[in-house]
Amino acid sequence: MTEELDILLRKYVLQNAVKYGGKPQAGTVISRVMGEYPELRSEGRKISMLTNAIVKEVSRLSPEKQKEELAQVAPRLLEELSLTKEHVKAGLPALEGAENGVVMRFAPNPSGPLHLGHARAALLNDAYVRRYGGKYILRIEDTDPRRVDPDAYTTVREDCTWLDLVIDEIVFQSDRLDTYNEYARNLISIGGAYVCTCEADQFRELKLAKRACPCREISPEKNLELFEAMLNGEYGEGEVTLRVKTDIEHPDPAVRDFSALRIVSSPPHPRVDATVFPLMNFSVAIDDHLLGVTHVIRGKDHIANTARQRYIFDYFGWKPPVYRHYGRMGIEGVVLSTSQMKAGIADGIYTGWDDIRLGTLRAIARRGITPEAVRNAVLEIGIGETDISFSWENLYAKNRDIVDPVANRYSFVPDPVLLEIADAPCGFVAQAMLHPNDPSRGYRNLPFDGSVFIPKADLVCPGMIRLKDLFNIRLGEGKDCLVATFAGKSLDEARKAKAPIVQWVPPEHTIPCVLHKPDGDMKGYCEPMVALDAGKVVQFERVGFVRIEKATAMLIEAYWGHR
Ligand code: GLU
């Protein structure tokens, strides 16, 4: 143990050294280790002595050597240093039995691109792999040909890259059908499974009445024959299924003799030529064991599946992983059901998987929401068992923290009206900062030549408004509303008069702009310089953060992020 503890502490000391410019701090290391490994708290004295000794050793190494060693012995701790504090802390509870590293998996069905619900599973498991070190497996669960969308083999992986998951290995379940069949034979041989030829409805009735079906009594030898017949195509779809013998009186009917393998003859599978496919609980249990998965974090909707999967672990005498089930997360305001999204796209209701009315990661990426914001929001939600509803406002707040310091500012005038300013000093050029906290980024020039476009919503007649970075104007009444008069340059006066500070664009230096929002488009004008930020998130002043998707000489297209 001392040696193992040595190794563990050295990793954290090295990380601390790299973090603090080559000078590790014993106290910080100790509190980090105690926080991560509460079970070590009883060994406080020993830990403190060892840490102090290791700190001395590590301090003698050059910063380059420290970093080199850290990269070698604990690459994830090195990586962690480039993450924000939410990534590391995230309020996630310690996982039992994780001290020596974990093997975890993210196991999506490739039925479409990933959405926010997937992101929670993907990022929580990822956070624990980063925290404890070990291995992260992306397991593509493609054993239901009816639910495989061939494009999703690519889109799911792209989405994992976007989320910056630390995937070490990718496994396709469709590559492993022989393995599942082999374990099915083993399970039959030990009397743990049987081939059931009952009609589905007939079995259902028996099951609900806690009664076994006649097939349950057939001998393993006969069952092996029936299983080979099933594999050899002697049965058609729906005629036969392999069932795991559980407790026929189990309180949850879903657990009673559940199906493990079945025949699906159409549609053909896009990757393999087969008709017998495992159902989720069978392939998941076999793979979790064979791939050495130590911890499974998934939603409460999998609780019945966990009960079923435990039967398979028990039959084979395997140690099951540690399971944690987090509460349900309602996500309002977007479409999340893959089948609904798919049908909507086919019918032309949605433009594609990145239509911003959908809850896919590509839709939110299109709105300029960063993967870091998704990660921070999801980790903050954590693995609690309470059902919650997803807070878009919280996601927006996390994103604002990230984009606000970097987004350039521009004027966008939605629903524009043209205002003549009768007596204003022409030839004046307003200089507006690209970023209010960073003058070094420079300025945008907005030349004033007698008239401006302002948003219709800001037309308060009569009244005073300040044209941002320009001067104050007074709006007339009735038909004079659109003929404004110059009202001085003083910002103080505008403030005293509580005049709204309004964004504007000069009619001669402007470009049409459409801002796509989930609830409809906003049309107007913006500064032509916005084109320089194509592909980036900018702030349209007084409107919100948007992502500039496209910029041509004729039109700017932006997508709404948040305020
Ligand atoms: N592929 C299944 C799902 O996405 C299984 C996931 C799991 O066991 O965590 O629901």
pLDDT tens digit sequence for 309-353: 999 999 999 999 999 999 999 999 999 999 999 999 999 999 999
Query: Cis ω on the peptide bond leading into residue 462 (within 30° of 0)?
Result: yes
| Ligand 1 atom nearest 284 alpha carbon | 8
Cβ 527 vs Cβ 469: under 8 Å: no
pLDDT at 86 (0 to 100): 47
Query: Ligand 1 atom 6: the closest Cα is on which residue?
Result: 107
| Span from the CA of 356 to the centroid of ligand 1 (angstroms) | 26
Query: Ligand 1 atom 7: the closest Cα is on which residue?
Result: 107
82-123: per-residue pLDDT in tens?
A: 654 444 455 799 999 999 999 999 999 999 999 999 999 999
296 class by beta-carbon count within 10 Å (0-12 exposed, 13-18 middle, 19+ buried): buried
Q: Residue 380: CA atoms inside 13 Å, Cβ hemisphere, count?
A: 16
| Span from the CA of 521 to the centroid of ligand 1 (angstroms) | 37
Mean pLDDT value across the chain:
94
346-382: per-residue pLDDT in tens?
A: 999 999 999 999 999 999 999 999 999 999 999 999 9
Give the 3-state secondary structure percentages of the chain, helix then strand then coil, rounded to 5.
40, 25, 35
Measured between alpha carbons, how far is 451 from 431 in angstroms, rounded to an integer? 17
Cβ 426 vs Cβ 448: under 8 Å: yes
Structure tokens at 259: 């199906």
9-44: per-residue pLDDT in tens?
A: 999 999 999 988 889 999 889 888 887 776 787 888
Cβ 264 vs Cβ 274: under 8 Å: no
How far from chain centre, in Å, is Cα 66? 33
Q: Looking at residues 123-148, what average pLDDT do you find?
A: 97
Does the Cβ of 74 fall within 6 Å of ligand 1? no
Buried-state track 166-189, b at ≥16 Cβ within 10 A, e below 16: bbeeebbbbebbeebbebbbebbe
| Span from the CA of 243 to the centroid of ligand 1 (angstroms) | 20
Residue 79 pLDDT greater than 80, yes or no: no
| Span from the CA of 120 to the centroid of ligand 1 (angstroms) | 12
Return the CATH architecture of domain 98-325: 3-Layer(aba) Sandwich (3.40)
Measured between alpha carbons, how far is 499 from 4 in angstroms, rounded to an integer? 68
Residue 169 pLDDT greater than 90, yes or no: yes
Candidates 120, 160, 302, 312: which one to mutate for ligand 1, based on the most atoms within 8 Å of Cβ? 302
State how beta strands 537-540 and 408-410 pair. Answer: parallel
Cβ 425 vs Cβ 394: under 8 Å: no
237 class by beta-carbon count within 10 Å (0-12 exposed, 13-18 middle, 19+ buried): exposed
Query: In 67-163, which ranges are E strands?
Result: 102-106, 134-140
| Span from the CA of 338 to the centroid of ligand 1 (angstroms) | 14
Measured between alpha carbons, how far is 515 from 521 in angstroms, rounded to an integer? 6
Supply the pTM of this predicted model.
Answer: 0.84
Measured between alpha carbons, how far is 58 from 56 in angstroms, rounded to an integer? 6
| Span from the CA of 341 to the centroid of ligand 1 (angstroms) | 19
| Span from the CA of 15 to the centroid of ligand 1 (angstroms) | 34
Does the Cβ of 114 fall within 6 Å of ligand 1? no
Phi-psi region of 288 (alpha: psi -120 to 50; beta: other; left: phi over 0): alpha
- Three-class SS of 185-208: HHHHHCCCEEEECCCHHHHHHHHH
pLDDT at 82 (0 to 100): 66
Q: Looking at residues 394-406, what average pLDDT do you find?
A: 97
Measured between alpha carbons, how far is 100 from 440 in angstroms, rounded to an integer? 48
Residue 142 pLDDT greater than 70, yes or no: yes
Query: Ligand 1 atom 3: the closest Cα is on which residue?
Result: 108
| Span from the CA of 305 to the centroid of ligand 1 (angstroms) | 9
DSSP code string of 403-428: HTTTPEEE-EEESEEEEEETT--SSE
CA distances from 510 to 302, 355, 456, 507, 531 (A): 54, 28, 17, 6, 11
Q: In the block, which residue shows the tokens 């800001």?
A: 458
Answer with the residue of higher pLDDT: 83 or 406.
Answer: 406
Please list, in sequence order, all residues whose beta carbon lies within 8 angstroms of the beta carbon of residue 7, skipping any fewer than 6 positions away.
73
Candidates 105, 141, 156: which one to mutate for ligand 1, based on the most atoms within 8 Å of Cβ? 141
Does the Cβ of 144 fall within 6 Å of ligand 1? no
Residue type, position 515, single letter = L
Please list, in sequence order, all residues whose beta carbon lies within 8 angstroms of the beta carbon of residue 220, skipping any fewer than 6 positions away.
188, 189, 190, 191
Residue 63 pLDDT greater than 50, yes or no: yes
DSSP code string of 460-505: -SSEEEEETTS-EEEE-SGGGGGEEEE--S-HHHHHHTT--EE--B
Query: Cis ω on the peptide bond leading into residue 267 (within 30° of 0)?
Result: yes
521-551: per-residue pLDDT in tens?
A: 999 999 999 999 999 999 999 999 999 999 9
Instruction: Give which of 245, 234, 238, 226 is closest to 201, Cα–Cα.
Output: 238
Structure tokens at 147: 């639910």
Mutual orientation of helices 303-316 and 177-189 as an angle, nearest 10°? 70
pLDDT at 42 (0 to 100): 83
For the domain 409-562, what is the CATH code?
A: 2.40.240.10
Please list, in sequence order, all residues whose beta carbon lies within 8 angstroms of the beta carbon of residue 119, skipping any fewer than 6 positions away.
163, 361, 374, 378
The domain limits of the chain are 2-84, 98-325, 409-562
